Amino acid sequence: MAENRPMPPSTRMPPAAPTSTLAVQRRASLREFNTLGLPAVAATLVRIASDADVRRVVDHPEYGRAPKFILGGGSNIVLTRDVAAVVLKVEIMGRRLVRETADAWIVEAGAGERWHDIVAWTLAQGWPGLENLALIPGTVGAAPVQNIGAYGVELKDRFDSLDAVDLVTGRTVTLDAAACHFGYRDSVFKQHLAGKSVVTRVRLRLPRPWQPVTGYVDLERKRVESGLAAPDAHTIFEWVCAIRRAKLPDPATIGNVGSFFKNPLVSPEQCRDIIGRDPEIVHYPLPDGTCKLAAGWLIDACGWKGKSIGRAAVHDRHALVLVNRGGASGAEVVTLARAIQESVYGRFGIRLEPEPVIV
Ligand code: EPU
């Protein structure tokens, strides 16, 4: 893509404004900052190490009013072009136990911490509860944005509150779970607060006494194989890491953003109709009568596993994961995603919705 292409005049930035305290980089490559490893250039990239840095951006004569793009670990974005908006790369660190009560440990982590490091650290401290969410790529700040989830636990189940800085007023606000509007891989930060508010710290609520969550089919299989009636949190952590390593590619080795599509929700009638035609279909009936279908199964059934378009491919062990075979452009990834959507729609009449944000 446009790595070596001069910026068009409309996006060329004026000479650097005084940046005595902000860490600013012009024409910054984003290739290292997105786990698909896609080439794109940010006209301006600002490294955010504190709430005060966000306020400096808000008060800045040049960046204050410019559109912003908030970047965490880059594990849920597909970059199809250079980014003209001011990229705020959130690198706020720190972790602490806020308080311990009879029924929970409340733990706080900076938005720039790696999510998996916080999972491992809380376990090591003797505060279990995040083990099912081990090895999810990305940062703590990105976790609430898309309400990350795996193996029967979602971020919202372990959430206390978060701090975010408003990009218009520069004020730090605290949001509880209700204010975050968590949904399936969704929150207010993907909707009306997108690009308007920077998550700076997240507080997690780890309930006491700890209760294992092993109902998810892959974990239940591990439990049966191990013969352990009551696995501890460390054991579940190891199982989750093993399951993920066996079927999901490590972004450090092969570029990917985890699941590329959400598992679609269908009405009871649609579900009955599809099961009638494809009795094998993997589906999960929900309490309200609707049904969640396994998108990976639908894509696999259309024969996509291991197939490529250009240098973008469908992972050969999990059809829901698109990978960069090396040197792919964002356009190639999007072309592949569209082709998959069309074939799933053609065969099942279901529209798959991408999970990552396409930029
Ligand atoms: N399947 C196939 N073929 C495939 C892939 C999957 O038939 O190529 C079938 C599997 O056999 C299984 C079903 O589809 O019966 C579901 O697959 P899996 O258990 O791997 O989970 P998933 O629905 O694909 C979801 C999340 C993952 C999360 C896992 C475990 C979404 C979109 N994805 O995947 O989250 O780790 O469950 O809880 O909800 C992510 O969001 O990036 C992510 C990896």
Ligand 1 test: best mutation among 220, 320, 340, 350, most atoms within 8 Å of CB? 320
pLDDT above 50 for 99: yes
- If residue 176 lies in a helix (H) or strand (E), which one and from where to where? strand 172-176
Map out the domains of the chain with their CATH numbers. Answer: 2-8+93-207 (3.30.465.10), 23-90 (3.30.43.10), 255-358 (3.90.78.10)
pLDDT number for residue 264: 96
Cα(69) to ligand 1 centroid in Å equals 29
Residue nearest to atom 1 of ligand 1 (CA): 297
Ligand 1 binding pocket (C-beta < 6 A) is 150-151, 216, 247, 258-259, 262-263, 282, 294, 296-297, 300, 305, 318-320, 355
Cβ distance 337 to 328 under 8 Å?
Answer: no
Cα(344) to ligand 1 centroid in Å equals 16
Cβ distance 71 to 145 under 8 Å?
Answer: no
pLDDT number for residue 149: 96
pLDDT number for residue 20: 55
DSSP string covering 17-55: PP-SSSEEEEEEE-GGGSTT----EEEEEEEE-SHHHHH
> Mean pLDDT, to the nearest integer, of 198-210?
97
pLDDT in tens, 103-150: 999 999 999 999 999 999 999 999 999 999 999 999 999 999 999 999
pLDDT above 60 for 63: yes
* 209: preceding bond cis by omega (within 30 degrees): yes
DSSP string covering 286-308: -TTS-EEE-HHHHHHHTT-TT-E
Cα(261) to ligand 1 centroid in Å equals 10
Least confident of 158-162, 272-276, 325-329, 338-342: 272-276
Average per-residue pLDDT for the chain: 92
Ligand 1 test: best mutation among 190, 247, 291, 297, most atoms within 8 Å of CB? 297
pLDDT above 60 for 278: yes
Count, residues in the chain: 359
DSSP string covering 177-246: HHHHT-BTTB-TTTTTTTTTEEEEEEEEEEESS------SHHHHHHHHHHT-SS--HHHHHHHHHHHHHH
Decide: residue 339, CB within 10 A, 0-12 exposed, 13-18 middle, 19+ buried: middle
Nearest residue to 283 via CA among 275, 274, 273, 293: 293
